[in-house]
Structure 1
Amino acid sequence: MASGRGRVLSMLQAMERVSCRCPAHGSGGAVRHTTATPPSTDYAFEMACSNIRYGPGVTQEVGMDFNNMGAKKVCVMTDSNLVKLSPVKATIESLHKHGVNFELYDGVRVEPTNESFEDAIRFARSQPFDAFLAVGGGSVMDTAKAANLYLCNPEAEFLDYVNPPIGKGKPILGKVKPLIAVPTTSGTGSETTGVAIFDYLPLHAKTGIANRELRPTLGLVDPLHALAMPERVACYSGFDVLCHALESYTAIPYNQRSPRPDNPIHRPAYQGSNPISDVWAEATLRIMAKYFRRSVYDAGDVEARSQIHMASAFAGIGFGNAGVHLCHGMSYPIAGMVRSHQPADYSAQHAIIPHGLSVVMTSPAVFRFTAPLCPERHLRAAELLGADVTGKSAAQAGEVLAEVLLDFMQFMKVENGLSALGYKSEDIPALVRGTVPQHRVTKLAPRPQSEDDLAKMFEDSLTVY
């Protein structure tokens, strides 16, 4: 038995050395973990994912799914714009056809806040719901996750499950109700993950709740819904997919993440890069290289829109277990401190910086910063996205990947840096302060960062072209 365990450990170590031999991802041939001296870092990773059903028109099956579950009353959540559009209409038609009893909540806020979450929680607690259905983008799916969680834990205070240091980050012990998610954008991958993100208004910063128990029971990934996305929604949500894949691929390896949990229930959802999440990240990057540009400017390109819709789920499976790092950590104060920005194609009546836009703004600066710690990963990512990396040295890795990202951003006519979103140099200290509490993700970066490092990346992101 001991020899068998040794073979397994040797195989995993060999996989890691083949995958990448850079400082952050390779062991240089050395065995990092032994049973004689237990390490302070983790030694295992856990893969968790929602069931996914993909296919054009698959939404029509949702009524049968709830009947198969034996659901008595379903809470349907969406937003005030989507409720008028074909994805929600197709969903409601299926529920009626199969005799499913439901109540509709269309008060989801685009880019939700603690207040909008709490409003949805009150609605969920107002009736005897035993299942949930989310039809929409990440805002809708995340709101449904939160409503489900607090319905099933009625004694919990709101901050009990919120990520520290803002919240208490308590483990979720009670079972939640079944949740079916029908994504209508190709970005967040929230149909696959146990994460719910929101703006915490008292601090003007984003945070969230992260726990495997939040994962939807089933994600119905219907590519027909992707055809309804306006141009800017397709653009910004696509950059979220791209950064999910890049950040999970370049995150610190799972067996270098600390602390090592004393109980598996304390192992975080975001565990660091690992051989399985790498597969999903690489597949996502290949799809993005081939279809992203096509998908944004031609809503009728069924193949491209369908592929990006699938890539969103792929990236969700990868980052939902590996995690993201600096692009996302720095995006939270960018979005949370918005003053007046109102992008085209978004129906929100309040100022917003769409999530994917806030994430991609710092990406060139971030990957220039992280590349020295795992240059091979950065060069490989650039290659998967279509760059010719022949003859490129490790010292060039960050710039190579940054140039690939800038090419995408220019082609998609993305705003020219944080200054185009209303930020100035004098805002940088506040942006840094808003990033520091996001250590749930920033600690997964392959390179540790000081406040001065963060300030430099924000400064370099004020204009990007």
Structure 2
Amino acid sequence: MASIRIAPSRATRALNLLRSINSTHSGCPCHSNPGHHHGPINPYAGKVRSLATPVDFSQQKEYAFEMAASSIRFGPGCTKEVGMDFKNMGAKKVMVVTDSVVEKLDAMKQVREGLEREGIPYEVYNKVRTEPKDYTIREAIDFAKPYQPDAFLAVGGGSVIDTAKLMNLYTTFPQAEFLDFVNAPVGKGLPITSGLKPLIAVPTTAGTGSETTGTAIFDLVEKKAKTGIAHRNLKPTLGICDPINTRTMPSAVHASSGLDVLCHSLESWTAIPYYERVPRPQNPINRPAYQGANPISDIFSLQALRDTVKYLPRAVRDPDDWEAQSKMLLAATLAGVGFGNAGVHLCHGMSYPISSQNPGYKHKGYAVDTPIIPHGVSVAVTAPAVFAFTGASNPERHLAAAECFGVDISQVKAESAGEVLGEALAEFLIALGDQPRGLKALGFKREHIDTLVEGTIPQARVLMLAPNLDTGGGEEERAQLTGLFETAMEY
């Protein structure tokens, strides 16, 4: 009788990955690569250290990671449950945050009907702008403070959800200065020392994953760079992921939002492992949300990458492809859990000055009167250059990513991993259509590179996770970033 080989279930494979947490060495491709780390996960393995011996934490590598994500409800039609959620929480005054476009859509209709059905008082703030500036965030905070809500509801894309997070933060800490919590070195980077008010996020785009993360991003106009605030206490209480709400996205928004998912998953999959991050926090409250690749984030990031490569072209091509639309919303959420704990690196770090220093580009398909480089476009435009650069840090992991794009990696040499992934990315972006083929297509010239580099260097919280980058703000880092921007001018 012929033998039958039974493939392990997805749950079994995930369990095997999770077991690596308790082993001396991780078994995942990134963590088993000898070029990626120089010793066991636990730096004290096999040693006895006196508790009285002083430790210089600034030079100690991390030895632990934390997993945090919002509760997620996923399913078509589940938006209508939001009124019951707030009633179950005992909410008495809800601040609903949205923008002028989403306010007219069915998602907001479902929200209003749900709140009114349960008798929940609410006030609507509808002036959130796409790619928010620090002054628009302040305006939103000033609107919320007099109302004194006891809960928040965000209905919209990442800009709306991020704005709601910051409204929640600064109404909870009304005496705080705006820069107190902003990521260092731009702001003071103070930890958020207590929980915030309940926040429910209802995404209407399939991209940012903001419904799962403790991160909020905005333009700091004075510095000509994007920055933000990142802390676990910022994350929403609940993300309501209703695929019906993404069906109104124009094709251009589907594409740019999906490119954000693509880079979230790729960057978190290739970030340095958590146990290589320095410094180790002296107190767990200071452990950053972006920790480096870890065995749990790997599961979410790789699945999100596979689904994005498979379903994003379909979602862009056919707005009535219900399966593709639903899968992209799920991929965005999966990637949010992955990068919300592992972090992102160079594509995002370089994207912040790209979008904030826009020389006048207006992306096709966006119904706005002002120049705009959508966030997904600003991260993807450097991706072929970035992953060609990072490939040497972990060839196995970069080849695994290339395989997701359909590349036959069986004969590819390790030293070609970055180049192969970069080429696969470029081909994917070109096939997607209507994407700028490099910074030149956005209007940037070589004389802009110095200011782009200077706008990237302050993004320390993400650059510290970039493999192969000599961080620290010195001449070597500037030279590497200059080379990356030069390579990204055209593909």
Contact 2:41 2:275 in 1 (8 A): no
- Residues 105 and 260 (structure 1), Cα distance of their counterparts in 2 relative to 1, 3 Å cut: same
Aligned to 1:316: 336
Is it true that 1:304 corresponds to 2:331 in the alignment? no
Return the match for 1:360 from 358, 377, 380.
380
Residues 412-421 or 116-125, more deviating = 412-421
SS in 2 for 1:15: coil
Post-superposition CA distance 1:350-405 (Å, at most 9, x none): 22110000000111111111111111110011112322111111111011111121
SS in 1 for 2:363: coil
- Residues 95 and 264 (structure 1), Cα distance of their counterparts in 2 relative to 1, 3 Å cut: same
Return the match for 1:21 from 19, 24, 32.
32
Return the match for 1:429 from 437, 444, 450.
450
Aligned to 2:396: 376
Is it true that 1:225 corresponds to 2:245 in the alignment? yes
In angstroms, what is the RMSD of aligned CA positions? Answer: 1.7
SS in 2 for 1:197: strand
- Residues 17 and 297 (structure 1), Cα distance of their counterparts in 2 relative to 1, 3 Å cut: closer
Summarize the alignment of residues 253-292 of structure 1 with structure 2, pairs less than 5 Å apart.
Answer: 253-292=273-312
Post-superposition CA distance 1:26-80 (Å, at most 9, x none): 5578975435367700100000000000000110100110111110010000111
Is it true that 1:351 corresponds to 2:367 in the alignment? no
- Residues 434 and 304 (structure 1), Cα distance of their counterparts in 2 relative to 1, 3 Å cut: same
Is it true that 1:442 corresponds to 2:463 in the alignment? yes
Contact 1:17 1:26 in 2 (8 A): no
Normalising by structure 2, report the TM-score.
0.90
Q: State the Cα distance separating 1:19 from its structure 2 match.
A: 5.4
Contact 1:289 1:386 in 2 (8 A): no
Is it true that 1:12 corresponds to 2:23 in the alignment? yes
SS in 1 for 2:26: helix
- Residues 43 and 20 (structure 1), Cα distance of their counterparts in 2 relative to 1, 3 Å cut: closer
Contact 2:26 2:41 in 1 (8 A): no
Aligned to 1:158: 178
| 1-structure distance, mates of 2:432, 2:272 | 30
Contact 2:79 2:202 in 1 (8 A): yes
- For 1:338, the aligned partner's letter is N
Residues 169-178 or 269-278, more deviating = 169-178
Contact 2:28 2:295 in 1 (8 A): no
Contact 2:67 2:341 in 1 (8 A): yes
Residues 11-20 or 115-124, more deviating = 11-20
| 1-structure distance, mates of 2:337, 2:21 | 26
| 1-structure distance, mates of 2:21, 2:292 | 20
SS in 2 for 1:246: helix
SS in 2 for 1:235: helix
Q: State the Cα distance separating 1:226 from its structure 2 match.
A: 1.6
Return the match for 1:453 from 450, 471, 480.
480
SS in 2 for 1:134: strand
Summarize the alignment of residues 31-70 of structure 1 with structure 2, pairs less than 5 Å apart.
Answer: 32-34=43-45, 35-36=47-48, 40-70=60-90
| 2-structure distance, mates of 1:24, 1:79 | 47
- For 2:490, the aligned partner's letter is T
Contact 1:24 1:253 in 2 (8 A): no
Aligned to 1:419: 440
Contact 1:199 1:206 in 2 (8 A): yes
Identity of aligned residues (%): 52
Summarize the alignment of residues 138-149 of structure 1 with structure 2, pairs less than 5 Å apart.
Answer: 138-149=158-169
Is it true that 1:207 corresponds to 2:218 in the alignment? no
Q: State the Cα distance separating 1:339 from its structure 2 match.
A: 2.9
- For 2:198, the aligned partner's letter is P
Is it true that 1:463 corresponds to 2:460 in the alignment? no
Contact 1:117 1:147 in 2 (8 A): yes
Q: State the Cα distance separating 1:84 from its structure 2 match.
A: 1.2
- For 2:270, the aligned partner's letter is T
Count, aligned residues: 457
Contact 1:153 1:174 in 2 (8 A): no
Q: State the Cα distance separating 1:232 from its structure 2 match.
A: 0.7
Contact 1:271 1:323 in 2 (8 A): yes
Aligned to 1:106: 126
Post-superposition CA distance 1:183-205 (Å, at most 9, x none): 01111000000000000000111
| 2-structure distance, mates of 1:417, 1:24 | 31
